[in-house]
Structure 1
Amino acid sequence: MSPLDLLEEKAFALAGKLRDRRLKRDAYNIVEDLKRLNTAEKNRLMEKQMEEDKKRKEEKKKQQEEEKKKKEEEEKKKKEEERKKKLPTKAITDIPGYKVAPMFGLKRMEGLRDPFWVLSPHERKPIPEYLKQILSDYNLAVGRSFGNEALIRTRLDAIFLTTLAAKKRLEFNQPSHRSSTSSQGSYKSVHIQFEKTFKLEWVYDKAECLLQGRTDYSFWHKDANLAETNTIIVEAKAVGKMDWHQALAYMSMIHHARRRAGRPDVTVYGIATDSFDWTFIKIDQNSVFSSVKLDWAEGQHMECYSLLHKLIDRAAVLSPVSTLSDRLAGVCFTNPME
């Protein structure tokens, strides 16, 4: 029995004991009011209970649907992984250079040079003295044996690491500083990674396959294992073995994966270099690519260094990309050290 039931019972008993007719009538009116109040309260509690029961049922149903969906997704993922395991693997290095652009649906920019490669006065960066000294010491120590790819990478390590470090140092020392091309980006979130292996399901020569390759360097932000975070791909080559098509192929994989995931900006940048000859490449929003070739040793070292700065600026601009999905469709990154 609820408190209102007890109160109603006591009020009714008390009303029956009253001898004054008017008081008795008023007391019975109070009893009727208590009855109505009691009934309303019971109805309210009943409705509340019904709402809670309904909510619990809906939550249980939602939970069951989510569990079912999760199970279906896991089964689908498992089947997809099994299917991919059966696909033949095609190494990027085995694809002839002339096939790269057509297979990825790329078009070369025709006519005038892409204005992106034209450096404005504020974009021209002098090479710092400490980097000049490092490269001079490198040449002195290595001498004539610099031609192989392993030694080339030590030279590129110096160029890339000191350039990115200079960008970060400037921003860390001046919190309010931002590049004129990076009103929203930050160099603090841009990093460099070495030798990243990745795969992409694609159609090559009219047959499904799993493209596979390993980039020498990649500039990324936020999380190295998320494909959308990779904005600059670099291929290092031994002296005399320059071929920028391999870099273009890796760039295309990232470009198409970003597009599949609905990224607002699918532009990708790349570099193919032996540390002396530099080919800078860009794939734009419309899958049109352009490139520019420069020679570090023939007086164009400042242009090479400045364009590297410009590409890192672009990577910083892309750093706050909002994630429409955590992982880009079809791209699998692995670390060779794992």
Structure 2
Amino acid sequence: MTKNKNQKKKNIETQVNLIWREFGSFTRRLDVDPSKADLLVPNLQAALQRQQEILKPAPVEEVTWKAVGDLTRDEIDEGFGIAKELLQSAGRQPWPPRNMIPRDISAGCLTSIQSVQKYMARSSRNEAAARVVIDLILFDILDQIMDGHCDISGTWPLHIQMETSLESNMVTVKEKDQRFRGTSDYTLWYGNGDGPEKAINLVILEAKAQIPGAGDGQVLGYMGCVHQERRLKPGRSATVYGVVTDAEEWRFCRINDEGRYSWDSEISGQLSGDVKGKETGYATIATLLGFIMEQAMILSPYTTRMHSKETSREDDEPMTG
């Protein structure tokens, strides 16, 4: 692409130089025989028109946009250059990781979820109802993580944003240039603003239908937009995480630095009858969310290299037992 543009520019410069030589020829000829000026004017006008056509900027090609939700899995893989991680290559970076710190939702979060389920038990399930529970869990785990890391220097603050617009850079799918865009229901990001310091670590899509695998391709497309952007920043981890959930069933995905993605098995979040002193049923979900949020803080550019080595767990050798 760049080579063709350079050649085109060189050709234009050559044509412009020929036109100016033609102008010089007219001038000399007019100096010699001014009476022939009327005959040379049409040639001069034609040369000027040629110059305007050559120097006229090329029309801007209209970008073909495609909604992330309309993409096939093959289009996502080809466009972003990602691929599903093979089982035999997953030993180095297992997903989910095997040495996460166990977590659970807090008693306050549990009480709130119980209240939601109690008073909406007979209502039809919809997006608004699901978001109440998702909100409770996300903010509860983020609060735990922030409290646990507030005394560690070098970590960046985390933020949750709803309805985040995401766009890809130009990609090529089936020899056609295009761009993808869409809106993620939730994103977790770290940093201090909208500039290069801001980086999205987690994208979450609320599944719109009770169908196995619903939303998997869409959230992978959003993750691809983030992964693509982060790969352009030298020295920054390009690992990004995604979640598809309807507040009851949760599916976690990861794209690693090499562009290989892995899904976990479906995790159900259910409340047991007597949860006092026991796991609430959301413990596995809380553990994974907590791990992802920790990674966002620990692996942010503000954290020193030594601190990352001491604290990061995802890149450790897998445990054998």
Amino acid at match of 1:166: Q
Higher Cα Rg: structure 1 or 2?
1
Bigger helix share: 1
Which of 111, 133, 137 lines up with 2:87 in the alignment? 111
Which ranges of structure 1 fall in alignment gaps of 5 or more residues? 1-78, 323-338
Give the aligned residue type for 1:237.
A
**Equivalent position of 1:269 in the other structure:** 241
Q: Which moved more, 1:252-261 or 1:304-313?
A: 252-261
Counterpart AA for 2:155:
G
Post-superposition Cα deviations, 1:102-133, rounded to whole Å, max 9, x if no partner, equal 3322121222665241443x611133211111
CA contact (8 A) 1:147 1:239 kept: no
Over aligned residues, Cα RMSD in angstroms?
A: 2.7
Which position in structure 2 is the counterpart of 1:303?
A: 284
| 4+ aligned runs moved over 6 Å, structure 1 | none
In the alignment, which residue of structure 1 is the partner of 2:300? Answer: 319
Distance 1:247 1:224 in 2: 24
Aligned position for 1:290: 262
Query: What is the alpha-carbon distance in structure 2 between the residues aligned to residue 254 and residue 263 of structure 1?
Result: 15
Is the 2:105–2:141 Cα contact (8 Å) retained in structure 1? no
Asked whether the equivalents of residues 147 and 238 of structure 1 are also in contact (C-alpha less than 8 Å), the reply is no
Of 180, 184, 187, the match for 1:211: 180
Letter in 2 for 1:95: L
Structure 2 counterparts to residues 58-69 of structure 1, below 5 A: none
> Shift of the alpha carbon at 1:320?
3.1
For the residue of structure 2 that corresponds to 1:133, the secondary structure is helix
Which of 129, 145, 148 aligns to 2:126? It is 148
Measured after TM superposition, the shift of residue 204 of structure 1 is 3.2
Map 1:226-241 to 2 at 5 A.
226=195, 229-241=199-211
How far 1:92 sits from its partner (Å)? 0.5
User: In 2, are the aligned partners of 1:223 and 1:229 still within 8 Å (CA)?
Assistant: no
Rate the CA distance shift 1:153–1:224 in 2: closer, same or farther, 3 A. Answer: farther
| Alignment partners' CA distance in 1, 2:291 and 2:243 | 12
TM-score (norm 2): 0.64
Percent sequence identity is: 21
For 2:205 and 2:261, how far apart are their aligned partners in 1? 17
Who is 2:29 aligned against?
none
Q: TM-score, normalised by structure 1?
A: 0.61
Name the CA shift for 1:146/1:194 in 2 (closer, same or farther; >3 Å): farther
Counterpart position of 1:243: 215
Distance 1:98 1:145 in 2: 38
Q: Cα offset for 1:142?
A: 1.7
Measure the CA separation in 2 of the matches of 1:277 and 1:126. 16
Following the alignment from structure 1 to structure 2, what is the Cα–Cα distance between the partners of residues 129 and 148? 25
**TM superposition shift of 1:89:** 1.6
Query: 2:63: which partner in 1?
Result: 87
- Equivalent-residue separation in structure 1 for 2:204 and 2:94 (angstroms): 21
Please list the CA deviations of residues 14-36 of structure 1 after superposition, one character each: whole Å capped at 9, or x if unmatched.
xxxxxxxxxxxxxxxxxxxxxxx
Q: Which amino acid aligns with 1:203?
A: T
CA distance in 1, matches of 2:179, 2:85: 28
Deviation at 1:243?
A: 2.2
- Quick check: 1:197–1:215 contact (8 Å CA) kept in 2? yes
Query: Is contact 2:79–2:173 with CA below 8 Å preserved after alignment?
Result: yes
